[in-house]
Amino acid sequence: MVVCSPCPQRPRSVLMSWAALTTFSVLPWHPDQIGTRFLLFTQKNRYYQEIKTDQTIHASNYGGKRKTRFIIPGYLKKGDEDWPQEMCKVMLKLENVNCIAVEWKKGVTTQYVQAANNARVLAAQVAFMITFLKANFKQTSDKFHIIGHSLGAHAAGDAGNRTAGLARITGLDPTEPYFQDTDASVRLDTSDAAFVDVIHTDGLSFKSKLGLGMSQSVGRPSDLDAIWEGTKKFDACNHARAYKYYSESIFNRQGFVAYPCSNKDSFAAGKCFPCGDDTCPLMGYYADRVTVTDGISETKYFLNTGSSEPFGRYSYKVKVTLDGPSWPNPGFMYVALVGDNDSTEEYKLHRGTMKPGQTYEVLIDAEVDIGDATEVKFRWNNHILNPLRPKYGASKVELQRGKDNKM
């Protein structure tokens, strides 16, 4: 049984701040009632091995020379409770790590306020497991990365607070209720690890719209604290989308290029496209591969995703200068992109009055990466009510790729 007493502790004043700075009205459950399990996946075992903080750890496939990634699920009204196990399996196809799926189904499938309090015990258990692994395998804290979703994100932050020097914490849509605008000691904060990246996908307010996701930024210059805008229309399913985006990003890094922008409206208007001189960061698994400069955490990052899997999108801007009769005509214009890797479907470039000599542009979030562009197809349709049959063409076509500003 794991108890809190031998765990690395917060200062007493910080422990007391939980009661002072949150509105929890219940006490956390006993660890036995929460039923936390640590499920180890490695490239040597496709099915998990449950590991415990005792000498049986040496009979497992845990390797002290490998990086270790913990994955902590959170609060979901409906959803796949075993997604951390599936993420481990995906991760191990790419790299040789110790992947530990943390299971606490009993402690989190209850009323939210109770689950939020239980997360405090869970955090202590995760911290104690890390301390145990470090001692038994002579590992250092910079070999550990915790990925937490929802309440699991705050548990990850708490565990990081208890374990100095963690390499990275990834927060996947940290929850708002009881954590938004509270002191940094009781929520995920950038001081909890050397690198903290956060994906926000549920932008609805809990008070007005019952949204679960946290909108508060937690960034500092060495971190990627960003609002990663998932879909243009927020809905209840977006709280679960965060871990789905992260999982897909493992094998689809270029589909999650994010653009620094001041706000969502400016991003939607194309004012922050393409990436500037500095490489845009990648949302998800590869977020720590991009050098972050001083002050960048004050910038929000935005990207669009698909409404269903695959979620990754590849951004392009197309400009077409129209050629044709000297008079304007109503109609529709479409473009499609062709490259050496793939081709896209048609996208609407313009609807309405078409004026020769005028340049029209559209931002495209394509489902496929076309590679190096070889062709831009242009098509127009005359309006059904227009008795004339004018002929139009394109005198100039420009294509710009978002991720690297390549023309």
Extract the annotated binding site for Ca(2+): 187, 189, 192
Q: Which of 239, 247, 249, 288 is catalytic?
A: 239
**Of the residues 173, 223, 225, 288, which is catalytic?**
173
Strand partners, 380: 333
**Buried b / exposed e along 355-369 (16+ C-beta atoms within 10 A):** ebeeebebbbbbebb
CA 51 and chain centroid, separation: 28
Contacts of 65 (CB under 8 A, 6+ apart): none
**Among 399, 109, 132, which Cα is nearest to 273's?**
399
235 catalytically annotated: no
Residues 6+ apart with CB under 8 A from 146: 69, 70, 72, 126, 156, 159, 160, 166, 168, 169, 170, 193
User: Active-site residue 372, yes or no?
Assistant: no
5 a catalytic residue? no
Read off φ and ψ for residue 395, nearest 5 degrees.
-80, -25
Q: Is there a contact between 392 and 322 (Cβ–Cβ < 8 Å)? A: yes
State the alpha helices, DSSP H only, in 233-383: 238-249, 264-268
Residues making up the annotated binding site are 187, 189, 192
Catalytic residue among 145, 149, 150, 185: 150
Q: What are the Cα distances from residue 376, in Å, to 299, 316, 397?
A: 33, 12, 8
Q: Which residues are catalytic?
A: 150, 173, 239
